[in-house]
Amino acid sequence: METVTKFEELGRDFGYSDVLQTGLQAETGSTERVRKLSSLMRSTRPGLCLHPARAYTEVFSQTESEPVEIRFAKAFCKTLQDLPPVIHEGELIVGLQSCGLKKIPVLPVNQASWLIKDLEKLSSRKVDPVQVSEEQLR
């Protein structure tokens, strides 16, 4: 489910053209490569990356007798091993901290309480909606 917030709904005039507001075309950028990457950023909706949450949960359930520092190190290592590489055409510097562009990495150690309560509401909020798939809700 994809939620799009229109600038008019926010009650402010930002002075952007209609095309720019839709995120389909960038009006800035010195080269075609930069304009394409800017358009990609503007047209991509935020979402969640659950790779870190799965890695931490798996490692912490398997290493209960080990020191907490070792458990965090192993969980971080597993996260890096499981995270898919993301490289977009035209990028000169590559790599993301999550599984995709504008994906929010979820770490259970610092985000679990608010996220569990609001998970079903994230995609329908008026400001900064975040895509949440049916698979992620399970």
3-state secondary structure 11-64: CCCCCCCHHHHHCCCCCCCCCHHHHHHHHHHHHCCCEEECHHHHHHHHHHHHCC
In a domain, 134, yes or no: no
- The enclosing H or E element of 50 equals none
Q: Are residues 40 and 73 in the same domain?
A: no
**Structural domains of the chain, count:** 2
* DSSP E strand stretches across 10-85: 47-49
Least confident of 27-41, 45-59, 82-96: 27-41
DSSP reduced 3-state for 131: strand
User: Greater confidence, 1 or 22?
Assistant: 22
Q: Is residue 135, in this structure, part of any structural domain at all?
A: no
Judged by average pLDDT, the poorest of 39-48, 74-83, 111-120 is 111-120
Question: In angstroms, what is the C-alpha Rg of the chain?
Answer: 18
In a domain, 65, yes or no: yes
| Domain membership of residue 11 as a residue range | 1-45
Question: Which residue in this structure is represented by tokens 């398997």?
Answer: 62
pLDDT in tens, 10-20: 555 555 566 55
When pLDDT is averaged across residues 106-118 and rounded to a whole number, the result is 72
pTM above 0.75, yes or no: no
Does any domain span residue 131?
no
Looking at the structure, tell me whether residues 51 and 119 fall in a common domain: yes
Angle between helices 51-62 and 68-82 (to 10 degrees): 140
Shared domain for 56 and 90, answered yes or no, is yes
For residue 137, tell me if it sits in a domain: no
Statement to judge: residues 37 and 55 lie in one domain: no
* 50-81 residue pLDDT tens: 899 899 999 999 999 999 999 999 999 999 99
Is 2 a residue whose pLDDT tops 50? no
